Amino acid sequence: MTYSFIVVGLGESLFDVFPDRVILGGAPLNVAYHAHQLCSRSGGRGVVASRIGNDELGQQMLGELQARQLSDEFVQRDSQHPTGRVDIALRNGEPTYTFLSDVAWDYLAWTPQWEQLANNCDAVVFGTLAQRCPTSRATVRQFIGTARQAIRLFDVNLRVTFFDADTLRRGAELATVIKLNEDEIPLVLRVLGLDHDFNDDCSSDSAADTTHKAGASRLLDAFGSNGLKTVVVTRGARGTALITHDDYVCGPVAQFPRHLQADNVGAGDACSAGLLWGWLNKWSHQETVALANRLGAFVASQPGATPPIPSDVFV
């Protein structure tokens, strides 16, 4: 049996500007979209909680949300700051990002409407980028601190210099789940002062798995008393690892035909949506990771971060 869930993507909404195209993006928005594809089949929804400018890109954002059947009910309007954008360059399919500064989502506002959403949602995903400025940082923390009944997924998603020890530590303290990629583990441990005698050997798959387990254990030991229960490590083509104090699960890796203009943008966000869906429905760890791998692999086989996902990918 499935239930009606509300999954919130909290933070940045923007456009990914490639050399040849402009595409809707922002990690929380991407998660909300993919979660909506899952939740809407049983009466639930994915929700974008963000802020856009009163400009041409902002109007385009509203049109893109409508086209994806996503509500703009919790998308704030800003008359003083532009809609977010990021310029993306690709090298061998891997993206590098240049973010426009001082944009609308740097000024997320805590409102009664958002307070109600925080109190009623079943899951929320947040990261570090939307906390780069004091106003939005305070709002993100207020929202996550209010949503105590929800699964709180902290996708660290490190971007250039838009993070610090305080942001990482407070995010980990507020989260029930931390998600990061295998390259981010040693950096996060170092910034948090948890890297003493940490061996980050990834010279082989087995060595990498040992490293991931050890890194996840340090995070669980450090923040478990605050409510952290799970660490998720994304490992590119090797798929996703889900780690708790008692379990280490790597589901089957999926493959799909690759589009000629495919990129890896948004694959991790689709993975997040799959994880949340599995947890909300109380699936086993194996079933949850298998869905996360399938969704991530499919998005990686397509152009852009928010392609429609065929129903056969969900099963």
User: What local confidence, expressed as pLDDT, does residue 148 receive?
Assistant: 97
Residue 19 binned pLDDT confidence (cut-offs 50, 70, 90): confident
Residue 63 binned pLDDT confidence (cut-offs 50, 70, 90): very high
CA distance 161 to 31: 23
- Which residue's entry shows tokens 């170092």? 190
Closest residue by Cα to residue 90 from 21, 160, 29: 21
Pairing assessment for the beta strands 151-155 and 14-17 based on DSSP bridges: unpaired
CA distance 221 to 227: 11
> How many domains, the chain?
1
Per the structure, the complete domain to which residue 29 belongs is given by: 6-308
CA distance 29 to 9: 5
pTM for this model (two decimals): 0.94
**How confident is the model over 24-60, as pLDDT tens digits?**
989 999 999 999 999 998 899 999 999 999 999 999 9
Quick one: average pLDDT of 106-117? 98
User: What local confidence, expressed as pLDDT, does residue 3 receive?
Assistant: 56
CATH of the domain at 28: 3.40.1190.20
Residue 160 binned pLDDT confidence (cut-offs 50, 70, 90): low
Quick one: average pLDDT of 101-127? 97
pLDDT at 198 over 90: no
315, part of any domain: no
User: What local confidence, expressed as pLDDT, does residue 1 receive?
Assistant: 47
**How confident is the model over 120-129, as pLDDT tens digits?**
999 999 999 9
294, part of any domain: yes
As a whole-number percent, the residues of the chain with pLDDT over 90 amount to 73
Structure token digits, residue 258: 């690759």
User: What local confidence, expressed as pLDDT, does residue 313 receive?
Assistant: 82
pLDDT at 157 over 60: yes
192, part of any domain: yes
**How confident is the model over 249-296, as pLDDT tens digits?**
998 888 899 998 888 888 999 999 999 999 999 999 999 999 999 999
